[in-house]
Amino acid sequence: MIKLVLLFQLATPPVAPLHGDSIPMVSLAEALRRATRLDPDYVAALNEVGDAAWGRRSARLAFVLPSIQAQTSATRFSSEFFNIGTGELASQIVDFRLEGSYTLFRGGGKVAGLRQANAELRRAEADETAARFQMALGTESDYYDVLLQRELTGVARERVRRAGEQLAVARARVLAGAAVQTDSLQLLLELTQAQVELLRQAAFLKVSRLQLGRRVGAEGPVDAAPLDTIPAPALPISETEAVAEAAARSPQVLGARAGERAAAAAVSVARGAYLPQLDLFGQITTFDDQFFPSATTRSLAGFRVSVPVWNNAQREVELSRALSSRDIAQAVREDTERGVRRDVIEAYENYNTARASSELAARAVLVARENLRVQEERYRSGATTIIDLITAQVSLAEAEAGRAEARYGTRLALAGLEAILGRRLLGQENLP
């Protein structure tokens, strides 16, 4: 009996509270907004849109504006010579040249170049949308992980509390001779296991807060503001509608199709290198022996026809590469279309499964809680064994953990489906 009392006294004390007031807290909308500025993949995709937009501007301006170049130089010689600008002998000459040229015909290269630039911009915009939703999916995953680990920590803490209460009851019964010492030892083991689980969950919670802090650009841990616990509603579209929408407007599909169009336009550009090129050009040159040269001005204008003959097979190499890129882009587009159909069905089923699991898990918590209440009453009256009581306690903890996992699993499944479709479905916090 003395040894058993010592075990009671040496039982691990309750774990200190895990939540500190110094940890900043963000909402899901704020986390999404801050992650938009920090996610490397999304920042890269956003800048690619800007680069592609400038590429299209350049292709458009090539139809209306000439290429212009200004150049000036000053040259000093060791002996005097005739300066064409001043008409006298001088040891230096200063000239200024303004040149302009406009390509009238380039083997269809202008039109094909504009098509390619338009397709590249469409692809960049589709990639930006896809990157934005992937960023949102990653941010929501980290956000929900904090909420899940915090709730699981609460479940573990409640398990410790219940085990401690039952240990006190068992101790009193043992001292009163109404129960054997093994009852108290079994409950002491359950208390120890519950405390170990609480420590593990505290570590998981700390790491998840650090990950969320990294996601939103904080130097340390960041906590997630609680979300509502309203049961997840049914999706507003059917599975058939989701598949059709993904096949038509998914960012991955739009990007793959634009990539194929860009590759096809690149083939036209490469083939244009076999055709003649017609340019108009003009030049104004001024000469003097000092800046700004103005003594003599000469100008010229003309046109130039370039006929490609042979450039060591560089045209053939470029055309072969363009054709290969087009074939690859076509294969990528076809595979993406097939893959998106499969992915959207998987995501749709994942959401419905998680939603149903969440409802069943909530029901399981009610059943487990009532079962524990009955087992506690029966144990106090001596009508059941300590094993049945401990089993009921563990079952309740597992049911509560399962409910939390199912609830946030449903939210994450929804985010996965939205990432494929490229739009929000249920009107939750919008992306920035």
Phi, then psi, of 192 in degrees rounded to 5: -65, -45
Span of 221-235, 363-377, 383-397 with lowest mean pLDDT? 383-397
pLDDT (mean) for 19-23: 64
What confidence category does residue 16 fall into, taking pLDDT thresholds of 50, 70 and 90?
very low
pLDDT at 173: 65
pLDDT tens for each residue of 147-174: 999 999 999 999 999 988 888 877 766 6
The percentage of the chain sitting over the pLDDT mark of 70, rounded to a whole number, equals 91
Peptide bond into 292 cis (omega under 30): yes
What confidence category does residue 1 fall into, taking pLDDT thresholds of 50, 70 and 90?
very low
Give Cα separations from 141 to 33, 186, 200, 201, 395 (angstroms). Answer: 15, 38, 20, 18, 27
Distance (Å, whole) CA 148 – CA 140: 12
Among residues 238, 253, 251, the alpha carbon closest in space to that of 425 is found at 238
For residues 212 and 142, the answer to whether their CB atoms sit within 8 Å is: yes
pLDDT at 317: 95
Among residues 392, 394, 391, the alpha carbon closest in space to that of 374 is found at 392
Ordered alpha helix ranges (H), 62-108: none
Span of 8-22, 221-235, 348-362 with lowest mean pLDDT? 8-22
Distance (Å, whole) CA 75 – CA 70: 17
Span of 16-30, 119-133, 292-306 with lowest mean pLDDT? 16-30
pLDDT (mean) for 221-241: 93
pTM score, whole prediction = 0.84
Distance (Å, whole) CA 373 – CA 392: 9
pLDDT at 12: 42
What confidence category does residue 21 fall into, taking pLDDT thresholds of 50, 70 and 90?
low
Among residues 150, 158, 168, 165, the alpha carbon closest in space to that of 194 is found at 158
Distance (Å, whole) CA 69 – CA 185: 92
pLDDT at 14: 45
Among residues 326, 251, 279, 244, the alpha carbon closest in space to that of 109 is found at 279
Cα distance between the two ends of the chain: 66
What confidence category does residue 428 fall into, taking pLDDT thresholds of 50, 70 and 90?
low
Among residues 375, 365, 376, 361, the alpha carbon closest in space to that of 406 is found at 361
pLDDT at 239: 96
pLDDT at 180: 56
pLDDT (mean) for 240-266: 96
pLDDT at 285: 94
What confidence category does residue 18 fall into, taking pLDDT thresholds of 50, 70 and 90?
very low
Write down the mean pLDDT value for the chain. 89
Residues 6 or more apart whose CB falls under 8 angstroms from that of 350 comprise 413, 416, 417
pLDDT of 19 strictly over 50 = no
Give the bridge partners for 286, in sequence order. Answer: 96, 297
Residues 6 or more apart whose CB falls under 8 angstroms from that of 334 comprise none
pLDDT tens for each residue of 77-111: 888 888 887 888 888 999 999 999 999 888 777 89
What confidence category does residue 389 fall into, taking pLDDT thresholds of 50, 70 and 90?
confident
- Number of Cβ atoms within 10 Å of the Cβ of 24: 12
The amino acid at 267? V
pLDDT (mean) for 385-393: 85
pLDDT (mean) for 377-381: 81
